[in-house]
């Protein structure tokens, strides 16, 4: 099932992009994916869930005035803290106060959910950029998403940490379906090899299903764009890495291999995500 063609909000998809360790290029993937979704006519809501190293604002060269902490303090509502980075991409700056949302009075929680319900009529997809690792906040954000996308690289420790993340999400959050993206690879064959290794280990020890979403090669244009805090999909759209990111966006948009049940559809809605986040589910 693909993204909605209208803006009823019923098919807003919530995708988390996560990793077992840092330095795998999560935020670069998230920012470029958002740009590719925009090229396909989608409206995108980004959520920076990396509380310690939030950097999506840097990648889009914007300076947020507010964060989630302002919602908690009653200084702003959810719409006030949205940063429009383009005409079709908005950013919710996470901030360190993110998990204080659970302490909101019930009336404030309901107000927030009403505001989020309005947002659900605007966006086709929400992408969550989580922190790396297996801290509670990472597990929490992933378990509220409809599709969990695990990013890993050829580094052996990256594979081990990706497996650990999948294992903990399965054991503690009962998650059983994961998408996998292999980043910083030599070529598609290299990416497939890394995925096959991860899948082989997971199949032996865990009751989970891994879906290969694609690989992104580490080319000079991607490295140059990242160093310059630019998006390769904009600066070098003909680069191999940019083409791979465009292909990755296509797999999420077409979703030909993904049949969404009513349960998962509910889990993927913006309302469900925020209910989980503020402890109102």
Residue 44 has pLDDT above 90, yes or no: yes
pLDDT band at 277 (very low <50, low <70, confident <90, very high): confident
pLDDT digits (tens, 9 = 90+) for 237-252: 999 999 999 999 999 9
Q: Cα(269)–Cα(13) distance, rounded to whole angstroms?
A: 6
Torsion of CA 275, 91, 165, 24, to 10 degrees: 180
Domain boundaries, the chain: 13-278
**Mean pLDDT, to the nearest integer, of 179-197?**
97
pLDDT digits (tens, 9 = 90+) for 60-69: 888 888 887 7
Q: Which of 21, 51, 29, 54 is nearest to 133 (CA)?
A: 21
Per-residue confidence (pLDDT) for residue 113, from 0 to 100: 77
Higher-confidence residue of 268 and 225: namely 225
Higher-confidence residue of 195 and 59: namely 195
pLDDT band at 51 (very low <50, low <70, confident <90, very high): low
Query: What sign has the CA pseudo-torsion 50, 52, 53, 54?
Result: positive
Q: Read off the pTM.
A: 0.88
Q: Cα(130)–Cα(51) distance, rounded to whole angstroms?
A: 8
- What is the assigned CATH class of domain 13-278? alpha beta
pLDDT digits (tens, 9 = 90+) for 106-118: 887 887 777 777 7
265 phi/psi in degrees, rounded to 5: -60, -45
Q: What is the overall mean pLDDT for the chain?
A: 86
Per-residue confidence (pLDDT) for residue 71, from 0 to 100: 79
- Convert 180-204 to b/e letters by CB count within 10 Å (16 or more is b): bbbbbbeebebbeebbeebbebbee
Contact between residue 221 and residue 244 where contact means Cβ atoms under 8 Å apart: no
């Amino acid at each position: 099932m693909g993204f909605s063609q209208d803006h009823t909000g019923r098919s807003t998809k919530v995708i988390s992009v996560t990793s077992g360790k840092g330095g795998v290029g999560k935020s670069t993937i998230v920012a470029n994916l958002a740009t590719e979704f925009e090229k396909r006519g989608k409206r995108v809501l980004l959520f920076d869930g990396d509380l310690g190293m939030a950097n999506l604002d840097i990648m889009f060269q914007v300076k947020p005035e507010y964060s989630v902490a302002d919602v908690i303090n009653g200084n702003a509502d959810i719409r006030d803290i949205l940063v429009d980075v383009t005409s079709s991409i908005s950013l919710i700056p996470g901030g360190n106060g993110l998990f204080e949302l659970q302490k909101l009075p019930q009336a404030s929680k309901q107000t927030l959910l009403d505001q989020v319900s309005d947002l659900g009529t605007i966006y086709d997809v929400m992408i969550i950029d989580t922190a790396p690792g297996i801290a509670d906040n990472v597990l929490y954000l992933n378990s509220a998403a409809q599709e969990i996308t695990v990013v890993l690289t050829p580094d052996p420790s990256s594979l081990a940490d990706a497996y650990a993340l999948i294992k903990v999400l399965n054991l503690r959050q009962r998650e059983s379906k994961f998408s996998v993206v292999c980043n910083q690879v030599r070529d598609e064959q290299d990416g497939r090899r890394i995925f096959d290794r991860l899948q082989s280990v997971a199949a032996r020890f865990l009751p989970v299903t891994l879906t290969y979403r694609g690989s992104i090669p580490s080319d000079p244009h991607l490295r140059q764009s990242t160093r310059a805090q630019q998006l390769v999909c904009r600066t070098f759209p003909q680069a191999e890495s940019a083409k791979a990111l465009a292909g990755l966006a296509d797999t999420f948009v077409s979703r030909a291999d993904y049949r969404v049940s009513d349960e998962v559809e509910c889990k993927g809605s913006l309302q469900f995500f925020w209910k989980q986040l503020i402890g109102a589910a």
